[in-house]
Structure 1
Amino acid sequence: MEYVLVVLQAVVVLGAIVLGVRVGGVGLGLWGVVGTLILVFVFHLPPGSPPIDAFFIVIAVITAASAMQAAGGIDYLVSIASKIIQANPGRLTYVAPLVSFVFTALSGTSNIYFALIPVIYETAYRNGQRPERSLAASTVTSALGITASPVSAAMAAYLVLVGPLDFSLIDILVITVPAAIVSCIVVSFVQQRIGKELLDDPVFLKRVEEGTVEMPAVLKAQQAARAEAAATGTSEAKAARQARKSTKTVAPVEKIVHEVPKGGATAAYIFLAAIFLIVLMGLFSGLRPAFPNSDGDLEPLSMSIVIQLFMFSAALAIILVRKVPPPQIVEQSLLKSGFVAAIALFGIAWMADTFISANQETIIDPLGDLVTAVPILLAVALFLVAGLTTSQSATTNTIIPIAIGAGMPVGVITAMWPSLVGVWLFPANGSQIAAVETDLTGSTKLTSVPIWHSFTIPMLVSWVSVVGAGLLIQLFVR
């Protein structure tokens, strides 16, 4: 009978997640709360601990980020990223994914990537490159920035979970940041070899013929060189060299310029300074004030509170220095999306903790033994649940406590945590859809098979490489 009740409770948890995903937005968190209500009132499970610290970390970060956005700071960051991307068109497939990763990690949200999609596409298209290569790779690597950011919602959730294990923010970043960089490089190397060149792509040529997209000047020159080589009986290798040579005679590609509001740079610097101080506090615990704990021993102020204090303070500093009207902050897109993330985190984490705490001996311990025996199953579970929920923070709160309860080494757990890149498993994210819609050449695409699309290969390559690199790096941590 006990196992029947556990199965029914699991059905409630999974059902709430599925219904929440279908509703989307705030609905994910609200269904999580309803699931908690059913577990408490119907199954009489003691309510778990609501993720108060993680919730307020997200609120603090999105408040500061929204203040920065209102003051033009996001525009400033985008302008810098745009310049870097456009300055290296020949290495676009390598540069764009790294830029997407870095700027997502700095801002704590992948929303900044939306503004980079048109830049990446135009740079690739105008230089005659297949946009799918850089667009798909950059979309995937932007998710790696979430697990490498000191101020992302997923990091807030993870930090609260592993904090009691004496595993600090710096310990996490020492593993996730270099592993993500390795993954970006590997993904770019593989992605550079994906798909046909545009001049050999029948989909692109058909779109040109139909007038859907115009052939850029670079490709026109290459096409002319090919035709001339064919007419004179030149070999394919020589024709290719002539085609590359012909592109040098084409007028330079006009660069995209992003307008930055006055004071945008200042707002961005205030936000980044707060992040720097947070990382510094995590690196040197002696910089944090210490207070007696329950045992009477002095203990440094928790990083959860440090993040909240510095992020809220950064928001106020931006408001005062840039004279941003507070009502404008509430209207920013980052605040709206961040609030949705906070509610989703709160509801799902509360429900998961209620279910896991009440069933420790019945189901969690056996699952923990399985994960301990075959550790790679943790990476698989994170990957699949992230794909089903499309929420890194919700997945973190659902799966990570199982691994912690099983007694897995926290370094190994952290190395596998970036498996959250599985959020790209199904084409259900705004970034994927935006990339497909932006690419007028038709190279970036979805298919009738939900899990097979332009993002599948870079996602799988990223998953394997980031976990592999992380597992090696964690051997040298602590």
Structure 2
Amino acid sequence: MLWLQLAIVLLFIFIGARLGGIGIGYAGGAGVIVLAMLGMKTSMEYIPVEVILIIMSVIAAIAAMQRAGGLDYLVYLSEKMLRKHPQYITFAAPMVTYFMTLLAGTGHTAFSTLPVIAEVAKEQGIRPSKPLSIAVVASQIAITASPISAAVVAFAAMLQPFGVSYLQLLSIAIPSTLIAVLIGAVVAQLLGKPLEDDPIYKERLAQGLIKQREQANYVPTSDAKFSVLAFALSILLVVSYAILLSGVIENPTIGRSEAIMAIMLATAGVIALKCKLDVNEITQMSTFRSGMCACICVLGVAWLGSTFVNGHIDDIKDFSGSLLASYPWMLALVLFFASMLLYSQGATTAALMPAALSMGIEPVATIAAFAAVSALFVLPTYPTLLAAIEMDDTGSTRIGKYVFDHPFLLPGIATITSSVIIAFMIGNLVL
């Protein structure tokens, strides 16, 4: 029965991946029904409600900031930085997407910077696939270091009973992922032939398919600047409150997760009031739509995975507990391949990390492996990856005929591998 139910889980994940987008959540819900029909017990407790509510709250604030022009302002600042030293675009681009994701808690902020990255690279005669590939990877792995991402907040709550604080998690995750992104950039820089030698680029150039993007005469508004400032202050407030909870405040009236939700909703309200926004238009923002899509995906897929894992937790412990205890680094492989299918750092964390901790794996090992939930770049179907391909009219950022031979794979593997190793080293010093 275990193998039959596992096959059902994988089948519905595959169906969800084929549907794409919100379809992953739909398929997850259908899979739960089939498991229940086969006698597997499920429960509301298996749904990562906290993760979903945090995503909703953060996205509400980001969408308000977008409606006020804040995202355009961030893109404007990013473009200024990228054009200041264009020859270093392969290293500067991932820093931009990394920190935008770190601050926003969602990798979808990368969408707005990808056209700029492609254009600056093209202007310098640099193969756009180099900065684009590592920029996408950086936007994904930064989720595991963002103070307000659902994955980090959920994982911090899981680690708390083991004596690991939210700030200790961040003190390991942020430096390890940041250094790893730079290592991934080195790998990306070494891949691919020069742009002028690429036959597809030559062909597209001869056909007149390569266009130069006109630089817009953008002038940031006061509302745009205010919305970015308000959002940045909200993140500072979240981190400051977490510090106070680490020893200053005893028996708080509002917990960390609840504080994040309340602060983000209040920030959205402040932006809407100060900038005189029509709140009905906030729900039409692209970040709002993608965030709500993420909620459905996490709901369906994490519920499906948690139902299976909890139904066979003893069997899983017997089968893999001793192996993972002896070789804890293998947890990173499990998370890597799971996130390839689940397409969500939050969903992968919610579905598998509780089981890993319950098997007796040391917290430092789980924290080190945490970055591996970001392997969303392996299958060339993730939205930001597809957007990067679409933005590069030189044709250098493309999917090969063997599906996996795309420019995101090696920089991504190098980044995650480096992060796991570095986090192990930092973790042994911090914990």
TM over 0.5: yes
Residue aligning to 2:229 = 269
**Residues 67, 318 of structure 1: 8 Å contact kept:** yes
1:189 paired residue among 186, 191, 195: 186
Equivalent position of 1:107 in the other structure? 104
Report the alpha carbon displacement of residue 290 of structure 1 after superposing the two structures with TM. Answer: 4.1
C-alpha displacement at 1:287, in angstroms?
A: 8.2
Stretches of structure 2 that go unaligned for 5 or more consecutive residues are none
Partner AA of 1:315 in structure 2: A
* One-letter code aligned to 2:272: I
- Which residue in 2 is equivalent to 1:148? 145
- Distance (Å, rounded) in 1 between the aligned partners of 2:375 and 2:76: 29
2:67 aligned with 1:67, yes or no?
no
User: Alpha carbons of 1:48 and 1:455: their partners in 2 closer, same or farther (altered >3 Å)?
Assistant: same
Matched, 1:313 2:266: yes
3-state SS, counterpart of residue 147 of structure 1? helix
Task: Flag structure 1 segments of 5+ consecutive residues without an equivalent.
Answer: 217-252, 292-298
* Residue 32 to residue 105, structure 1, CA distance change in 2 (3 Å): same
Distance between the aligned counterparts of 2:86 and 2:287, measured in 1? 30
Alignment of 1:321-336 (within 5 A): 321-336=274-289
1:342–1:254 CA distance, 2 compared to 1 (3 A): closer
Larger Rg: 1
Deviation at 1:26, TM superposition (A): 2.7
Quick check: 2:69–2:224 contact (8 Å CA) kept in 1? Answer: yes
Query: In the alignment, is the contact (CA less than 8 A) between 2:339 and 2:375 conserved in 1?
Result: yes
Shift of 1:256: 5.5
Distance change in 2, residues 1:469/1:256 (3 Å): farther
The one-character-per-residue Cα deviations of 1:161-218 (angstroms, maximum 9, x if unpaired) are: 334434332122111110111112112222222222223333323332333237x8xx
Residue of structure 2 in register with 1:82 after alignment: 79
Percent identity of paired positions between Structure 1 and Structure 2:
31
Question: Could you tell me which residue of structure 2 aligns to residue 43 of structure 1?
Answer: 39
The alpha-carbon deviation at position 338 of structure 1 amounts to 0.7
- Name the counterpart of 2:27: 31
Which residues in structure 2 correspond to 1:244-323 (within 5 Å)? 257-285=217-245, 290-291=250-251, 301-323=254-276
State yes or no: 1:447 paired with 2:400.
yes
Q: Offset at 1:286?
A: 6.1
State yes or no: 1:370 paired with 2:323.
yes
Structure 1's 348 and 167: CA in aligned 2 closer, same or farther, altered over 3 A? Answer: farther
Residue deviations 1:284-326 (CA, integer Å, cap 9, x gap): 21688543xxxxxxx6743111111111111111111111111
1:281 touches 1:288 (CA, 8 Å); kept in 2? no
Indicate if the aligned counterparts of 1:168 and 1:282 stay in contact, CA closer than 8 A. Answer: no
Separation (CA, whole Å) in 1 of partners of 2:124 and 2:364: 43
1:13-49: per-residue Cα shift (whole Å, max 9, x none)?
2233222222233332233233333334531525251
- RMSD between aligned residues: 2.2
Partners of 1:54 and 1:304 within 8 A in 2:
no
2:2 maps to which residue?
6
Q: 1:39 to 1:165 in 2, by over 3 A?
A: farther
Native 8 Å contact 1:72 1:264 kept in 2: yes
Greater shift, 191-200 or 421-430, is seen at: 191-200
The equivalent residue for 1:203 is 200
**Partner secondary structure for residue 373 of structure 2:** helix
Residue pair 2:48, 2:350 contacting (<8 A) in 1 also: no
Q: Does 1:19 align with 2:15?
A: yes
Aligned partner of 1:473 among 380, 405, 426: 426
Q: Give the TM-score of the pair, scaled to structure 2.
A: 0.93
Closer, same or farther in 2 for the Cα pair 1:269/1:7, shift >3 Å?
A: same
CA distance in 2, matches of 1:365, 1:167: 26
Is the Cα contact below 8 Å between 2:335 and 2:372 reproduced in 1?
Answer: yes
User: Which range moves more in the overlay, 400-409 or 349-358?
Assistant: 349-358
SS at match of 1:446: coil
Q: Hey, what's the Cα distance between the residues in 1 that align with 2:430 and 2:193? A: 42
Shift of 1:255: 5.6
Identify the residue that residue 243 of structure 1 maps to in structure 2: none
**TM-score, with structure 1 as normaliser:** 0.84
Q: Distance in 1 between matches of 2:338 and 2:381?
A: 14
State the one-letter code of the partner of 2:325: T
Distance between the aligned counterparts of 2:14 and 2:154, measured in 1?
21
Given the alignment of the two structures, is residue 58 of structure 1 paired with residue 55 of structure 2, yes or no?
yes
Q: Is the 8 A contact 2:165 2:246 kept in 1?
A: no
Q: Specify the alignment match of 1:295 in structure 2.
A: none
- The corresponding residue for 2:374 is 421
Residues 1:118 and 2:71 are matched in the alignment: no
Distance 1:326 1:164, change over 3 A: farther
Distance in 2, matches of 1:454 and 1:344, equals 26
The count of residues paired between Structure 1 and Structure 2 equals 430
AA at the equivalent of 2:231: F
Deviation sequence 1:193-248 (CA, Å, 0-9, x none): 2222223333323332333237x8xxxxxxxxxxxxxxxxxxxxxxxxxxxxxxxx
Inter-partner Cα distance in structure 1 for 2:101 and 2:25: 23
The question of whether the paired residues in 2 share the 8 Å contact of 1:60 and 1:312 is answered with yes
CA deviation after TM superposition for structure 1 residue 155, in Å: 2.4
| Pair 1:167 & 2:164 matched | yes
Q: Is contact 1:285-1:300 (8 Å) kept?
A: no
Letter of the 2:358 counterpart: G
CA distance in 2, matches of 1:205, 1:31: 43
